[in-house]
């Protein structure tokens, strides 16, 4: 993945990156826009929302797509899995829909839906209600991620790499937080 830093020569010591990310394969993933959509979908169906969520990209066990620590303010997505999809799938739409499913699942945890199976089912229910049963994100959410994307099995985490905080994420929360 290619991240744009404010100081590229010192990237290890400056982990802030833009929410819009240009990847090695030339795809761009706008995490901020995707998260804004997710929050809208959740609010429409559940009438719940939460401000103050941040996003980080980490390198960890490829059996975990992302996590949110109970009581925390950050969703941490597995950069190794995103990289594996970019390198082996090379399909921008599929990757963005993967991000929708994973971020929504973790966002639901942050809203108090801490049971893993319940959060998976609720992710699917919301996506089906808002996007319909034929949408790619809805289809992805109805199955195991590794079943849908066998490319994830090829993920190679860069253990020891610093956590990268995504800058300018959830910008629509800014007026609430400021």
Asked if pLDDT for residue 28 goes beyond 90, the answer is no
Lowest-confidence pick of 25-39, 56-70, 75-89 = 25-39
Among 158, 19, 160, 165, smallest CA distance to 81 is for: 158
* pLDDT at residue number 172: 66
Arithmetic mean of pLDDT, 57-79:
91
**Domain layout of the chain by residue ranges:** 8-177
- What Å distances lie between residue 3 and 89, 164, 170, CA to CA? 19, 9, 18
Q: What is the pLDDT of residues 103-162, one digit of tens each?
A: 999 999 999 999 999 999 999 999 999 999 999 999 999 999 999 999 899 899 998 888
Biggest CA-to-CA distance, the chain = 46
* pLDDT at residue number 107: 96
* pLDDT at residue number 123: 97
pTM, two decimal places: 0.81
Q: How confident is the model at residue 38 (pLDDT cuts 50, 70, 90)?
A: very high
């Amino acid at each position: 993945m290619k991240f744009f830093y404010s100081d590229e020569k010192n990237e290890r010591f400056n982990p802030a990156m833009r929410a819009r990310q240009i990847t090695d394969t030339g795809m761009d993933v706008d995490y901020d826009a995707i998260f804004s959509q997710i929050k809208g979908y959740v609010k429409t169906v559940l009438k719940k929302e939460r401000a103050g969520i941040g996003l980080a990209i980490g390198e960890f066990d490829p059996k975990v797509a992302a996590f949110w620590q109970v009581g925390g303010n950050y969703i941490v997505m597995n950069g190794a899995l995103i990289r594996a999809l970019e390198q082996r799938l090379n399909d921008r739409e599929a990757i963005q829909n993967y991000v929708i499913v994973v971020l929504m699942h973790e966002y639901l945890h942050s809203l108090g839906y801490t049971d893993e199976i319940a959060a998976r089912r609720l992710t699917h229910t919301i996506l089906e209600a808002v996007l319909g049963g034929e949408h790619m994100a809805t289809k992805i959410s109805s199955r195991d991620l590794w079943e849908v994307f066998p490319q994830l099995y090829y993920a190679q985490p860069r253990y020891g790499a610093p956590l990268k905080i995504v800058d300018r994420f959830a910008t629509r929360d800014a007026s609430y937080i400021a």
